Amino acid sequence: MEADVPSLHELFGPDAISEETRQVNDALKAQIAAAPQPDSLDAARHAFATGASGIPVSPQSSRARSQTLSTAAGDIGVRVLVPEVVRGIYLHIHGGGWVLGANDMWDDMLESLVRNAGLACMSVAYRLAPEHPFPAARDDCVAAATWLVENAEREFGTSCLLIGGESAGAHLAALTLLRLRDAGLGKPFKAANLMYGCFDLGLTPSLRMAAETPVIDRAGTERFIAAFSGGADPDHPALSPLYADLRDLPPALFSVGTLDPLLDDSLFMHMRWQAAGNPSELAVYPGGVHGFNCLTGQLAEAANAKAEAFLKAFAP
């Protein structure tokens, strides 16, 4: 038995949050409070892209290149980073509430996977809501994943595929795996790295209770969901993977902080993933807010290192 691994209830105890994490969270709250509130969608996108919304934006990598994939669903833009020796390919789907963000904002994290895990990384420039509501973003991610299934060996010298994302990206990654499985194309994807995803668009209890929490809260998330769903039923399994048939999916790592309004999404999805017969790991980080792995400090470092080790284990 691993005596140094805390039990789940200990992770939520009053003394579980380190002083460093408290300081990181306080600095984040102060930055958010001092930032002007966006008065338009364009302003909100600019704030997210520049880090003014609280989540830092990584510098762009000189290694990264833009590429356009020609798919049956149309042209899909991707951002690609490739190591000298490719052990596997990580299909990355960025976060931003399906409304914000771009695939060129995560280079530091992807560079680390290139350097430490030997993974080529491909991040998808999927269409954003509300201009392009469901199923546009999902279909773009499925098209990119299908392109990899068909072309990875020729383009990168390996057919070992991995997938993952953060927040809305984790949600889209889960939807992508379901579509691939149903099309008979899911087997090449060996593992899924799903960080603090929104898996129940009808709102889990932790999100229902979230008011004025850092980065996201209930009101803001409901606006994102409304923009993404475009009038479709948010409880339908096609939109909320928590309610889908989850059989025959790859091993997954679910990572989430205890202060994240989407905490229950990861707790519930981890258990349903296992109940469907799939291997699943759950990593819960005391004091982690939404997007905590993009912040400074040991908590972020631990979460990113665990995700890298998880993915690396599936790349030969």
Which entry of 260, 264, 266, 280 is annotated as an active-site residue? 260
Are 122 and 148 spatial neighbours (Cβ–Cβ below 8 Å)? yes
Clarify whether 233 is annotated catalytic: no
CA-angle at 166, arms to 155 and 240, nearest 5°: 100
Distance of CA 257 to the CA centre of its chain: 13
Which entry of 53, 167, 255, 266 is annotated as an active-site residue? 167
241: Cβ contacts below 8 Å, ≥ 6 apart: 171, 174, 175, 178, 199, 269
Count of beta carbons in the 10 Å neighbourhood of residue 315: 21
The token pair at 314 is 């599936």
Clarify whether 9 is annotated catalytic: no
State which amino acid sits at residue 168: A
Clarify whether 260 is annotated catalytic: yes
* CA 33/CA 31 separation, integer angstroms: 5
Which residues does residue 281 pair with via DSSP β-bridges, in sequence order?
253
Which entry of 92, 171, 270, 290 is annotated as an active-site residue? 290
Residues annotated catalytic, as ranges? 167, 260, 290
